[in-house]
Amino acid sequence: MNEFVLGIETSCDDTAAAVVDSKGNVLSSVVSSQLEIHKAFGGVYPEFAARAHITAILPTIHEALLRANIQASQLKAIGVTRGPGLISSVLVGLNTAVGLGLGWNKPVIGINHLRGHLRSADLEMQRVQYPAMILLVSGGHTFLAYMESTVDIVLLGSTRDDSVGESYDKVGRMLGLGYPGGPAVDKLAVQGKPTIKFPRPLLKNGLEFSFSGLKSSVARYLDSVKELVYEDIAASFVQAVLDVLITKSKLALKEKPVKSFAIVGGVAASPQLREAAAKLCRNLKVDLCLPPLRWSTDNAAMIALATFDYLNLGIYKEPLPELQLSISDF
C-alpha cells in the first residue's frame, strides 16, 4: 500500500515542505527562499532567518499538501529536520511539526539534515546502487561517506574546519560577487585561467578535508597583489577545490569499491565539479549519480524520503507525536 510522508526542512535559510510516497515519488516539493532577505548581509542572518521561517512555515506546508492533493489524515508520518543547522531556524520547523503531529495524531520523526542529503540522490527514482560512495558538499558540511545500504552509513572523512560551500561563499564575498557565492564564483572561473597556485590542503593526507587555509590564501593574495585578475583568481580557487575533492574521492573509491558514486549538497550544482566527477567515474568505471539540481540544494523531499528509512526499519511504530531523538546520526 502506498504511504505518504510530509517532510519539513528549516535548518538554514529555506523554508521547505514536501510530500513523498513510499516509492520515493515526490508528490510536491515547495521551497520558500529567503535569498532576498539575506543578500544584503552577504550571508545568512540567523535572527531574520528564524523570523522568516515563522511567517512562511504554515503556508509552505499548506501549499505542499494542496499540490500533492493529500489530506493530513492520509499521512503516515511527519519527518522534520532536527539538526544540524541554525538552532533558531531548526526550532521553527521542529515545533511546527510537533504541533501538527499532536493536532493530527501523527508520528513526528526527527531527521538528521545530512541523512536527508545522503538520500537525496534517490528521490523520484532509485538512482543509487549500493554499496555506494557519497560525497556531500554543502554550505554547512563536506564529507565522504560509504553506504552499504540506505541505512548503513560509515563516515570516512569530513572537514576539519570550513565546508567547501562556505569557502565558495567567502571567496565570492571577497570578489564582490554577493551571496551565495558558489554559482557566481563558478561562472567567473569559466572566464579565467587557473594560473595562481593556491594551496590544496591535506591533499595527500587521508580522507579528511580542510578549506580554511585555501580561503585565507585567497584573502592574502587579494591583499598583496596589485594587478588582480578576478577571473583568474576564481578559476584558480575552483581548480584547487576540484583537485582536493576529486583526489579524495578517487582515494575513497579505490579503498572501498562501490557500485555508485553520488555527489549531493548545494556544491553538487557546480558544473565544473560535475564534469570532473564524470571524468573520474569514466576512468574508474563507477556509475555516477548526480541528482537533479533541485534535490542538490536544501529541500524537504529528501527529509521525507529519509523518514521512510526509519519507518521501514520499524524504528518508529507507535502513532504518537513523539520525537526519536536518541537515534545516532549515522
User: Which of the choices ligand KG4, Zn ion, none does residue 157 contact, using the CB cut-off of 5 to 8 A by kind?
Assistant: none
Give the shortest CB-133-to-ligand KG4 separation in angstroms.
Answer: 18
Q: Are residues 84 and 114 in contact, defined by beta-carbon separation less than 8 angstroms?
A: yes
Q: Are residues 218 and 174 in contact, defined by beta-carbon separation less than 8 angstroms?
A: yes
Looking at 44-138, which runs of residues are DSSP E strands?
75-83, 108-112, 132-137
User: Which of the choices Zn ion, ligand KG4, none does residue 321 contact, using the CB cut-off of 5 to 8 A by kind?
Assistant: none
User: Which of the choices Zn ion, ligand KG4, none does residue 132 contact, using the CB cut-off of 5 to 8 A by kind?
Assistant: none
Which of 298, 301, 305, 323 forms a contact with Zn ion (CB under 5 A)? 298
Count of residues of this chain found to bind Zn ion when the rule CB under 5 A is applied: 2
Q: Is 295 in the site for ligand KG4 (CB under 6 A)?
A: no
Amino acid in position 231: E
Cβ contacts of 182-188, under 8 Å, gap ≥ 24? 182/266, 182/267, 182/269, 182/270, 183/269, 185/234, 185/237, 185/238, 186/234, 186/238, 186/270, 186/271, 186/272, 188/230, 188/231, 188/234, 188/235
Q: In what order do the strands lie in the sheet with 26-33?
A: 26-33, 14-21, 4-9, 75-83, 108-112
Which of 21, 122, 298, 309 forms a contact with ligand KG4 (CB under 6 A)? 298
Q: Is 181 in the site for ligand KG4 (CB under 6 A)?
A: yes
Q: Is 265 in the site for ligand KG4 (CB under 6 A)?
A: yes
The secondary element (H helix, E strand) that includes residue 231 is: helix 230-255
- The binding track of 134-163 with respect to Zn ion, each residue x by CB under 5 A or -, is ----x-------------------------
Q: Is 169 in the site for Zn ion (CB under 5 A)?
A: no
Amino acid in position 208: E
Give the shortest CB-319-to-Zn ion separation in angstroms.
Answer: 29
Give the shortest CB-317-to-ligand KG4 separation in angstroms.
Answer: 30
User: Which of the choices Zn ion, ligand KG4, none does residue 182 contact, using the CB cut-off of 5 to 8 A by kind?
Assistant: ligand KG4
Q: Which residues contact 220 (CB under 8 A, 6 or more apart)?
A: none
Q: Which residue has the cell 578549506?
A: 211
Q: Is 7 in the site for ligand KG4 (CB under 6 A)?
A: no
Q: How many angstroms separate the CA atoms of 191 and 200, rounded?
A: 22
Which of 50, 267, 280, 290 forms a contact with ligand KG4 (CB under 6 A)? 267
The residue length of the chain stands at 330
Give the shortest CB-117-to-Zn ion separation in angstroms.
Answer: 5
Q: Which residues bind ligand KG4 (CB under 6 A)?
A: 12, 138-140, 165, 168-169, 180-183, 186, 265-267, 269-270, 297-298
Binding site for Zn ion (CB under 5 A): 138, 298
